[in-house]
Amino acid sequence: MMWNDGMGWTGWLLMSLTAIAFWALVVFAVVALFRGTRSDPKQVGGEDDDARRILDQRFARGEIDSDEYHARQLVLRSTH
């Protein structure tokens, strides 16, 4: 029997930790890849741009008049 020719428990521990670290890195890379490809419109343009776009659309459709349009633009600018 050759008990001392093997790797020993430290070798097995190091090998196991290395394998766990490798797979954790693979999972992290896959998650980072998919998180980076998904676009959220609120992160790209912001809520302020959404509010201004909606205000512009309502004005273009004739739902609000010029005075209300300009008043609401001032409110949006002051909150930014």
- Tell me: the pLDDT tens digits for 26-79? 999 999 888 876 655 555 555 668 889 999 999 999 999 999 999 999 988 887
Same domain, 45 and 33: no
Domain count for the chain? 2
User: With the C-alpha atoms ordered 14, 19, 24, 26, is the resulting torsion angle positive or negative?
Assistant: positive
- Residue 15's pLDDT is 93
Q: Tell me the pTM.
A: 0.42
Same domain, 44 and 80: yes
CB-based contacts of 69, cutoff 8 Å, min separation 6:
55, 58, 59
Same domain, 47 and 72: yes
- Residue 1's pLDDT is 47
The range of the structural domain enclosing residue 20 comes to: 1-38
Same domain, 45 and 77: yes
Same domain, 46 and 26: no
Same domain, 76 and 44: yes
